[in-house]
Amino acid sequence: MATAAIANLEDEFTPTDKPAGPCVMVVFGAAGDLTKRKLIPALYNLAKDHLLPDNFAVVGVSFDDLSPDAFREEVTRFLDKEDHASEAWRWFHERLYYERGDFASDDTYLCLAKQLCEIDAHCGTQGNYLFYLATAPKFFADIVQQLGRHNLAQEENGSWRRVIIEKPFGHDLESAKTLNAQIQSVLAEKQIYRIDHYLGKETVQNLLVFRFSNSIFEPLWNDRYIDHVQITNAETVGVERRGGYFDNVGTMRDMVPNHIMQLISLTAMEPPASFKPEAVRDEQAKVLHAMKAFHPDEVLHNAVRGQYGAGRIEETTVPAYRSEPGVSPESRTETFVAMKLAIDNWRWAGIPFYVRTGKRLAERHTEITIQFKKTPLQIFQDTAGHKLRTNQLVIQIQPEEGMMLTFGAKIPGSTVRVGSVNMSCEYAKYFKTEPKTGYEVLLYDCMIGDPTLFQRADMVEAGWSVVDPVLDVWRAVSPRKFPNYPAGSWGPKESDDLLERDGRKWRTIA
């Protein structure tokens, strides 16, 4: 916010991280989109930043019949052209291996174990393995069982073994509990890294620093000064090539128990006693446990669902959800969710958290808005501009990363006129950084054994406890009118009504 102060801190921006220790990262689902679009680019960014150890290798495992060279070629295509000839890519490229195999077959794990032994001998990776499950969720439990059966999950002779599990983690509370039990029968909780890529976003992590390293905001961060909180997560994309998957899942399961709950917990948590992983995660978990699950009678009043029809996004006509490939023409799957949530604890009693998330909305934009209360006495109500907005703090998460504080100021002139002014800090300007994939920090943290930014079993289950009652009612009561919002809008009218009923409005995103 204050340019001068930030400039003085320049020395502190110099990265001080050291490379992770020797290890092999094994990616199950190596031929999939996640590996090519996110994981390999993230690893490459880590290589560029010298955060990968020299004793490092990646083994891709997938059912696709690829030679190691064909695999290397495949992943290279997903990198910017100018990076193909870089020194960092050459370094990375020669550390890439491939293993073809069926995730259910013993042979795959026998071959993998043999290949890992050879890599340890050749690359000095010391038996430290990070297994990344970038597969369809139906394989998660089986892969972990197989790792256990083939002695790949046991930490022996000072080596470590860790498993990163992608979302969705379960389909509802019961299946999440079952999955937790299945993987915990093989792995200790400290070996399990349940990933949520929102926790890899700079501004999401900054929520902790912002709240707990500044003394001026925390005293205001409660029901006394805050009127309500809004979280908007808007995407312009539709379901792209994931129609078949998405139609069985819907926006509620896809976004809410994970990404949205992370944003809420970091916004609402109490100050942790330290920045140690368990201290932070304990406080996050407490918030999630304090979130009020709806009684069935409350669901339709507090939760809105939507599905997009045809419309226009950035001058392009786009089809309705029901016409997307892989989606049933009668689909009742929601592509939009808005909810009014409550946190039943001392700090947040009576303060609504309004959240909305959806596909094919007007803009790609994710933000958290803290809406402060009005001043106790409105002494400027007879002056021009008295309809002044109350103070707002907007934490912008993407695509731009930054923060903005809105406050009232006198407009220069001989009469008293009050206007709203913004004080803002854009990450790209101050820190001169390019937004990354978000996976860099998470992969690095897993390699160094820091689980702070990963979800614990209890956190995942608490997220589902909030979502389950809504899904139950939605399953029982069909949506009245789908599609109910055109692509390129801000969602169904009921989403606006949800706030207007309380005399509030969604912040206008320009």
User: Would you please indicate which residues are annotated as catalytic (active-site) residues?
Assistant: 259
Candidates 434, 435, 411; CA nearest to 421 is 411
CB atoms within 10 A of CB 25: 25
The footprint of ligand BG6 on residues 153-182 (CB under 6 A) is 167
For residue 420, give Cα distances in angstroms to 135, 391, 407, 408, 503.
49, 9, 6, 5, 20
The footprint of ligand BG6 on residues 250-309 (CB under 6 A) is 254
Candidates 251, 273, 247; CA nearest to 260 is 251
Nearer to ligand BG6, 398 or 495 (CB): 398
Q: Does 120 bind ligand BG6 (CB under 6 A)?
A: no
Nearer to ligand BG6, 154 or 205 (CB): 205
CB of 193 to ligand BG6, least distance (A): 16
CB of 254 to ligand BG6, least distance (A): 5
**CB 372, CB 351: distance < 8 Å:** no
Nearer to ligand BG6, 241 or 505 (CB): 241
Q: CA 60, 65, 68, 69 torsion: positive or negative?
A: negative
> Which pairs with CB-CB distance under 8 Å and at least 24 residues apart come from 241-248?
241/33, 241/325, 241/326, 242/326, 243/324, 243/325, 243/326, 243/327, 244/326, 244/327, 245/136, 245/326, 246/326, 246/327, 246/333, 247/326, 247/327, 247/328, 247/331, 247/333, 248/333
Q: Does 99 bind ligand BG6 (CB under 6 A)?
A: no
CB of 238 to ligand BG6, least distance (A): 10
CB of 258 to ligand BG6, least distance (A): 7
Residue nearest to ligand BG6 as judged by C-beta position: 254
Binding to ligand BG6 by CB under 6 A, coded x per residue (else -) over 462-491, reads ------------------------------
- Count interface residues toward ligand BG6 (CB under 6 A): 3
Q: Does 235 bind ligand BG6 (CB under 6 A)?
A: yes
Nearer to ligand BG6, 372 or 439 (CB): 439
CB of 235 to ligand BG6, least distance (A): 5
Nearer to ligand BG6, 235 or 367 (CB): 235
Pairing of the two strands 161-165 and 192-194: parallel
Binding site for ligand BG6 (CB under 6 A): 167, 235, 254
